[in-house]
Structure 1
Amino acid sequence: MGKVKDEVSGQKPTKTPQGKPKGGSLGALSQFMGNFFSAKLYKPKQGWYARLYTGLALGLLAAGGVWNAYQASLDYSPGWRLGIPAVLAAILGWVVFRVVQYPVFAEFLIATEAEMNKVSWTTKDDLYRSTLVVLATVLLLAVYLFVVDWFWLFLLRMIGVLQFSGAGGFGSTS
């Protein structure tokens, strides 16, 4: 067995963390607010379809909220009835636009679109044939289970195990 000298520590020196900016949540908040009030596009040529469809989906959610606000303001004068939803639509439209341009989220959408481009999609003919196989299998299985169920119902009625009193069960006349 070897001896460890008392004056030499066995611990490794610690490294300073790299990657996250210093400043904590205040720095992240200032970065978010700086991006929120900026009209700059983040990597506009990359992840275009993913951003478009994400923006459309978020826009539909925002439109539902605006419609709900419009329905809730029907009792007010025409200025308020149209003004509140218009201002809300403008604010939510800007929020949706900035969300899909936020660097962290935009990088995620860019990476998602890049991965989706690597997928080997099936052809229309293969999809058609596979769908027919699945539908035929489900139909045959449904017919088979119906016949088996009917057979056991018939058999159990014949030997007197199942007796329906007409209270709405399967095979009743009510």
Structure 2
Amino acid sequence: MGTLCAISGLVLTVAGTLLAAMALIGDWRDHGGGEPLIPMIARARAWFRRHVLGRKPEVHSVSGQVTAHWGVTASATGYVSPPSNAPVDVQMRFVRERLIALESRIGTERQELDQKIGRLQEDAQATNARSQKAIDELEVKVRDVATGSVRLDLFGLVLVGVGSIVSALPAVFGWK
């Protein structure tokens, strides 16, 4: 009876340890960022491939091309004011025309500014939507990292605990 308990305790402990190791390796593969879990093993594997198997390391080549075109357009507008000794009605007409031109320019500038504000508000809403989507995706990933393998870890630890208890029974009860 003691031998049977020791063997079954050992089997349960090994199975639980393997499940916990599988959960650890799975989490590392999913969230380790491509880095090896044990860097020494990765270096030994690369050395073995290069020196024993005679494989050369992979080399990636990337090329690109950039083209730019520039264009500038400028225009100038101006006005000529009447001389200071011009009749009052000529000077008043000039002032009225300038006021009308300024009001027209103010209206144009206001329209352009309203359009820019509208585009900025649309861009801000789009940026908010993208940010919220990225935050939601990040929350899902964080939740997955925090709880993804908890069930497998827990099952493995329960098997290790049961295996340890079963393997200790012969010593506790004096079974041989």
| TM-score normalised per structure 1 | 0.25
| TM-score normalised per structure 2 | 0.25
Structure possessing the higher radius of gyration over alpha carbons: 2
